[in-house]
Amino acid sequence: MFDEQKPAGCWQAIVPILMIGLLVVYGAVAVGAGDPFFFIGGVSGEVSEAIVYDHGRMYVIKPGGKGFDQIVKTAHEQLPKVVASPLIGTSNVTVDGTIRKKNLALELRYKSKGFVHSNYNIGSFDRLIIPLDGVEAQDNVYFTAYIDLDKNEVWVAKAPQLQTESMDRIRKVINDAGY
């Protein structure tokens, strides 16, 4: 007359709880990163030019130019490998007077807003600069900027920090391209 029901197994309770837990963790990281696709890595945005600054010399590399594709590809592979995001920034004075004129650095300028898919909220940007030697390079950070309505560069006061190996790979690809 009555079918005998088996008691619910512990898996029937644990699986939904684990799924909810994973969704909560994913949601927290996605909100903190400002990017629901933080896990894919890479950089969104098309680079209009790469500029290598070499202690006072400036090499503007346009798409199709010597080493452009490899430099951009390597930088885009390394930029999401953020290990920390210290609240250090830079200013136009430091970028123009030191990084661009006295150091080795790579600047990428974007046709449309760039965005690094990372577990750190880096935000969107119009350009970024990666100091590769000098005082600014000691922390393995890069700086992002956006262009305001008056066409001024505004450097963001949050610098993603990369692993030393990432910076070494960027330096190597610039050297291999002959800059």
For residues 23 and 108, membership in a common domain is answered with no
For residues 61 and 90, membership in a common domain is answered with yes
Q: Which pLDDT score, from 0 to 100, does residue 46 have?
A: 95
Q: Which parts of the chain register pLDDT below 50?
A: none
| pLDDT tens, residue by residue, 116-142 | 888 787 888 999 999 999 988 888 999
For residues 75 and 52, membership in a common domain is answered with yes
88: domain range? 41-176
Q: Which pLDDT score, from 0 to 100, does residue 174 have?
A: 97
For residues 81 and 120, membership in a common domain is answered with yes
Q: Which pLDDT score, from 0 to 100, does residue 1 have?
A: 54
Q: Which pLDDT score, from 0 to 100, does residue 172 have?
A: 97
For residues 105 and 26, membership in a common domain is answered with no
**C-alpha distances in Å from residue 62, one per residue of 75, 163, 165, 177:** 15, 27, 26, 13
Number of domains composing the chain:
2
Q: Which pLDDT score, from 0 to 100, does residue 73 have?
A: 96
**Cβ contact 155:128 at 8 Å:** no
For residues 171 and 103, membership in a common domain is answered with yes
For residues 46 and 95, membership in a common domain is answered with yes
Please say whether the dihedral angle defined by the alpha carbons of residues 122, 128, 134 and 136, taken in this order, is positive or negative: negative
Q: Which pLDDT score, from 0 to 100, does residue 175 have?
A: 96
Q: Which pLDDT score, from 0 to 100, does residue 2 have?
A: 61
Instruction: Kindly report the pTM of this predicted structure.
Output: 0.79
Q: Which pLDDT score, from 0 to 100, does residue 138 have?
A: 87
